[in-house]
Chain A
């Protein structure tokens, strides 16, 4: 079966700046694809092009077989978008927003009546349905934004940073809603800069950085792709010198070293059980005190760092 979304050489330039740089990506029906990247990586621009809100400079995408350049109305017919910033006028109420959205998406009056209540209940906004949007917290507005997509149940749902600025309880609620939406048959593009969110929800993750897609695969495959399947984080009692880093690199089991802070190193290793005692010896010989040492499995953060050379926080600062 053909992928439900085929992105082909999609490019968006603002002057000389490449917001999205020759993006190629296929998204299969019924999957959650996480687009992971710092702010400014090109996630939102990609989403806005897929939603036919902005036009690509070059390339195109097929959504459910419809070309975003040639058949934008048909594309919009199968898409639902929950934007990063909730898009609603402050004079509206949650009920107005969701009911109107359902109406524009073609739900009949009887269906709408049922569905709007059901969805506002699900996002726990039924009691606040008649409050002015202005009076809602950021998290509540975000849930109303999600409710628009839930009421629509589109074939392709795009959600842009759905849990930004939401507390942990709210995050879990929204994650469950997204999983339910996927289980009901929607394909979901989840744009996020939260690694845990991408890891927890996505069937596949694509890492975007500076407008380019660096890699795409299942979270497990991406983690396995990092050389040195074991990681240790070492916090030192002093700054790590260039000399000690060079000595560590000379050990053949040490695949890579990332200096997280001046006194904190992350080491990517093979054969951890053999090499850790030697690393400890090295620190002792060089009189470098160790404050803590912690072993972990690779995470998407490591995958991101592996492909960009930066942590996502550093990449975020870099974009600013």
Chain B
């Protein structure tokens, strides 16, 4: 399953190229311009780190659209008839969806590293591992929502709304203290957001600690592990309930 999902994704060449163009334009246009407007030290580097996590998020979400593509072509029935358990099927798909996002974002992360500069090898490996789990969790979430909603149009709209909340209420684009100053409720929400965990760990791993002030990297790491575990579990349960037995038909 993992290999299949990874191979399939890299055949969507148009999507891949457009996403890469989107990333580069965000860095070279929005990042550079916003850095001139914002009174936050090293904001450009900060933003590029967050952008990598945002791209990972939006790429991992894509597995949900695959579900609809498969439903349209009747591939569900085929997958359900294969000699694999439903659990293996969902976990394989979550990992496949996460892995392909991770592979895709790899070169973009390399660009980020080039922009951000110094790294501590150990913390960087830990941060990468966290991003790995994060992308699997997002994949599981996307699968769970896709099979729950059963409509690609609604899924598309919901993902847009979710993106507005989950990305904007995180530290991907602005530091936690700025969010906190704006509204304490925003600050509290951002602190438990998995995108915040992932973005902070990535910046910590790449040496941008002076802006994010992580006191204990174990906490966001545990947050990501919990997020991964929760959505992998939910993905399995929801997939089994909604798809098993021809629930989609």
Contact = CB atoms under 8 A, between A and B. Distances in A.
Contact of B249 (A54, A91, A105): A54
B82 interface: yes
Q: Which of A48, A52, A87, A88 has the most CB of B within 10 A?
A: A87
B245 A55 contact: yes
A90 interface: yes
B35 to A, nearest CB: 39
Contact of B246 (A48, A90, A105): A48
A52 B81 contact: yes
Given A54-B246, A91-B11, A96-B7, A105 B83 contact: yes
B73 interface: yes
Contact of B75 (A81, A87, A103, A104): A87
A77 interface: yes
B79 to A, nearest CB: 8
A53 interface: yes
A88 B74 CA distance: 8
B122 interface: no
Interface string A278-308: 0000000000000000000000000000000
A305 to B, nearest CB: 31
A295 B245 CA distance: 49
B81 A53 contact: yes
Contacts of B82: 76, 101, 104-105
Contacts of B209: none
A260 B85 CA distance: 50
Given A76-B81, A76-B82, A88 B246 contact: no
Interface in A64-112: 73, 76-77, 79, 81, 83, 85, 87-92, 96, 100-101, 103-106
B245 A85 contact: no
Nearest to B85: A73
Given A54-B246, A55-B244, A91 B77 contact: no
Interface in B71-100: 73-75, 77-78, 80-85
A295 B70 CA distance: 50
A302 B4 CA distance: 47
Given A91-B11, A104-B83, A53 B73 contact: no
A41 interface: no
Contacts of A87: 73-75, 77-78
B75 A89 contact: yes
B245 A54 contact: yes
A76 B77 CA distance: 12
A51 interface: yes
A53 B8 contact: no
Contacts of A55: 244-246
Contacts of B80: 51-53
B69 interface: yes
A44 B10 CA distance: 33
A55 B244 CA distance: 8
5 shortest interchain CB distances as A-B pairs: A54-B246, A87-B78, A55-B245, A91-B11, A51-B81
Interface of B: 1, 3-4, 7-8, 11-12, 69-70, 73-75, 77-78, 80-85, 244-246, 249
Interface of A: 48, 51-55, 73, 76-77, 79, 81, 83, 85, 87-92, 96, 100-101, 103-106
Given A53-B80, A76-B82, A81-B81, 9 more contacts: A48-B246, A51-B81, A54-B245, A79-B81, A88-B73, A91-B8, A91-B11, A104-B83, A105-B82
27 contacts: A52-B80, A53-B77, A53-B81, A54-B249, A55-B244, A55-B246, A73-B83, A73-B85, A77-B83, A79-B83, A83-B74, A83-B77, A83-B78, A87-B73, A87-B75, A87-B77, A88-B73, A89-B69, A89-B70, A91-B8, A91-B11, A96-B7, A100-B4, A104-B1, A104-B82, A104-B83, A105-B83
